[in-house]
A and B are shown apart, each in its own frame.
Chain A
């Protein structure tokens, strides 16, 4: 039982990270109908920027405080993601308004490779570490219920809490502010949104900025756990099944989808793995996504798409 709970917690926590990456996909898809293939590359670039600037800035300015270095690096990396969002809207999206979804998808694929290259070009291609001072020591809970207690990684727990806070803040922003309402309006109907004077271009910049911020936070968490390297861009695409499961248009869907996949991966690895020779964790999410595509293509919470013929 204790072991089961340990696995479950571990799954929930890595699930929160998936949810955060998935959220980036959902935000952009909702607001512009674009499946943003570049989300993984955005996570990579953000993480690279964070890793490098947190080393460079203290060197340039000549101080040693780790906290200050991290805060400044975060601000610079966030500013960079905002600039990137603005450039993507200006140079790419604006010229592709009202084009086929496939055209837009291919454009984001292009952006993805461009960002990969840009990251390598500006930050180098070694493996870097991010140290934001996450607690590394294990923590045992429920010691009087189970012998030896349950091992919880404080690092994972902190990461999950940060991710949860960000998600909650975004949800409130979407629900209770004028700009949030405008974002939801654009997501529901472009034409109608334009007719009441909501500027599509500005909304897209805001959405890509928010997606960039999600990518940055996800990149920092991922980077501080496993280090920052180029596989991060593809690793981030492991959040793809998350959005298929949760539904591409649902924010709660991304969160619950992330948690289900996180838990499912861990539990199946531990309990089914021995029967098939292990390695389930790598493909479990994709198989689950495939099953969903067959039987419930709109995902758990997505909108059912009914095309008029």
Chain B
């Protein structure tokens, strides 16, 4: 897909973070940060270690509650987001230090992502009553589709703990995709990967964006990959926003260069 075509797909603002401040005790993790995310775009948050990237992601998904600021998602304002509500509103996420259900198979892990879409009650499930069984099969079909998409067919029934790191990252992505999210948060999707795995992951991220039209917010500290796949980039340093714009603009930004390369004092 060429650039002009991509640009035309990008729609209105879906997520608007306004003046977010977050501190832990005396430590300021985020100070007064605002940025927005538009429909269908790939939005990156970059910055050196300890810049507050993960904290930002955790604020969006309700794990941390900011002391100040508001979150607008799909036109509604939330002073307080919770992980459960975020999930219900269609925000899915992956984790930096893989948080998979290690004892469970790949299929079961991804199936867990369908949890909110399961409507049948506890007893119907326990008795394997007709509609509950039909529902299970329907979700199962969707999950198989994701397994094909991520090219992990061979590992379908393997307990996730036994897979290689790169494959585990894919399962993590698969579980988030199973939620059919409006907004997908990726926490360092390429951390600890070799070049080949990074390329695979970039391809999956672009495909998800193209095929499902999912809006993506991703965090990385490796600038190279991010610049290639994102539409717009926010740069954080020591909890402050120091840059925001298209990859090329950000690359030229002097504050950003200073933050990444350091400067004489």
Contacts and interface: CB of A to CB of B under 8 A. Distances in A.
Interface of A: 173, 176-182, 184-185, 187-189, 191-199, 206
Interface stretch (B31-39, B72-80, B121-129, B217-225): B121-129
Q: Binding site of A, secondary structure by majority: helix, strand, loop or mixed?
A: helix
B104 A189 contact: no
B100 A196 contact: no
A206 B121 CA distance: 12
Contact of B122 (A179, A191, A195): A179
Nearest to A199: B84
Nearest to B111: A181
B108 A181 contact: yes
A196 B112 contact: yes
6 contacts: A178-B111, A178-B136, A188-B102, A189-B99, A189-B100, A196-B113
Contacts of B93: 195
Contacts, number: 87
Given A178-B120, A178-B125, A198 B115 contact: yes
Contacts of B128: 176-177
A185 B105 CA distance: 11
Contact of B63 (A173, A188, A191, A199): A191
Contacts of A180: 125
Interface size grouping (class) on chain B: 35 or more
A192 B178 CA distance: 13
Interface of B: 61, 63, 83-84, 86-88, 92-93, 95, 99-104, 108, 111-116, 118, 120, 122, 125-126, 128, 132, 136, 175-176, 178-179
Nearest to A188: B101
B219 to A, nearest CB: 15
Given A192-B100, A196-B178, 17 more contacts: A178-B115, A179-B122, A184-B101, A185-B104, A188-B102, A188-B103, A188-B104, A189-B101, A191-B63, A194-B83, A195-B83, A195-B92, A195-B93, A195-B176, A196-B113, A196-B176, A198-B112
With most chain A CB atoms within 10 A of its CB, the pick from B84, B95, B120 is B84
B125 A179 contact: yes
